[in-house]
Amino acid sequence: MSTESTNLNSLGLPKEPKDTRVVVAMSGGVDSSVTAAMLHEEGYDVVGITLQLYDHGEIIARTGACCAGQDIYDARTVADTFGFPHYVLDYESKFKESVIEDFADSYARGETPIPCVRCNQTVKFKDLLDTAKDLGADVLATGHYVQRNGDETDAQMLKGADPKKDQSYFLFATTQEQLDFLRFPLGHMDKTETRALADKFNLTVADKPDSQDICFVPDGNYASIVEKFRPEAVEAGDIVHIDGEVLGTHKGIIHYTVGQRRGLGIGGRGANSGTDPLYVVKIDPENRQVIVGPKSALATPRIRLSDVNWLGDTKLSQGPVEIGVKVRSTMQPVAATVEATELGDVEVTFAEPMNGVSPGQACVFYQGDRVLGGGWIQRRIS
């Protein structure tokens, strides 16, 4: 190998850009469009792929939803403008099974799901990544706002440079093998810089608004999706105080989440709650009950996780690790300890009890700006 060939390109590979095939996941939004255009302008062999994840006929006129009809058109327009290949792959069946039905199942279990994480975990960074390799790609690039530190192997994931756009919480399930193959060219930028590049490249999507809703939920009405797949989750039941007093009725457990205070419809208090406002502290799907209590009942000292992805330098079985954790995407990391139990379970102990911890959400591990993985919150431990 010559000395020149050992020089790394901007994607950390010992190749010339023209000899480096990059498959770009293109949702039709500004971020992925800029990613593809930028890499093409750098001279990389770019191939764009857009996933058709659901029947977009029903929402073809709806804006702000990724992978709908307009978004597929927008992605293809960008590819045609720059002259690189673009393919639309039908992943509708896989998406329905792995994401939409899982979303409905999670609500039926009394959990609060995060379908965007499931999509990354089961479709985009699994099936799409395999497809990219089948196309001879050296790497798969996305428009996510996270950073990747390292070259071909043993890469680390870091928070996005722009704290307002950091998407590391939603990518906690990315495995080491996947991370080594992935690239995030926008991770060091903020959204203003991205839109400036979109203007520079004269992209038709330069002013396209960011997607705000879950892509497969028309008008944000997720209850209609759950009712279609799991009708039992919308059956009425009792709202019960933690002391056992029935305070009222609800119209289905899917309308409630742990930590919720407003919209309970029980006049604020029951005989057992004194003058304190009431919060949802637990969902009991088996008995179709929403359990409420004072804010103090939300305090959670410890949680058990399932499907843990660990990106740390040592094994969790070697002993407790002090980390920062986020149990909601919008919060700042808080001090905690993660460890594997003798039975092989993974538990997180908070330095200070946390409020509003909901099964079905993600607990993501951090060490400074580095992402150490995370897991799904299975249950609270007193």
Q: Indicate which residue of 66, 67, 116, 215 is catalytic.
A: 215
183, 174 Cβ separation under 8 angstroms: no
Type of residue numbered 196:
A
Lowest average pLDDT, out of 63-77, 200-214, 311-325, goes to 63-77
The Cα–Cα gap between 381 and 313 comes to 27
Task: Assess whether pLDDT exceeds 50 at residue 2.
Answer: no
pLDDT for the residue numbered 1: 37
pLDDT for the residue numbered 219: 66
Task: Identify whether 67 is a catalytic site residue.
Answer: no
pLDDT for the residue numbered 56: 46
Average pLDDT, the chain: 89
Output the CA angle 64-75-194, nearest 5 degrees.
Answer: 70
Cα–Cα separations (whole angstroms), residue 45 to 14, 32, 34, 150, 200:
15, 16, 15, 21, 21
The Cα–Cα gap between 264 and 274 comes to 17
pLDDT for the residue numbered 212: 65
Task: Identify whether 116 is a catalytic site residue.
Answer: no
Residues 205-232: tens digit of each pLDDT: 988 888 766 777 766 777 788 888 888 7
Task: Assess whether pLDDT exceeds 50 at residue 59.
Answer: no
**Across residues 173-195, what is the average pLDDT?**
96
Q: Which residue has the higher pLDDT, 120 or 84?
A: 84
Q: For the chain, what's the residue count? A: 382
Q: Indicate which residue of 66, 67, 119, 363 is catalytic.
A: 119
182, 125 Cβ separation under 8 angstroms: yes
Lowest average pLDDT, out of 11-20, 72-81, 115-124, goes to 115-124
Residues 111-134: tens digit of each pLDDT: 888 888 988 888 888 889 999 999
pLDDT for the residue numbered 111: 87
**Across residues 170-180, what is the average pLDDT?**
96
Q: Is 150 helix (H, G, I), strand (E, B) or coil?
A: coil
**Across residues 171-179, what is the average pLDDT?**
96
Residues 6+ apart with CB under 8 A from 294: 273, 274, 276, 277, 278, 279
pLDDT for the residue numbered 342: 84
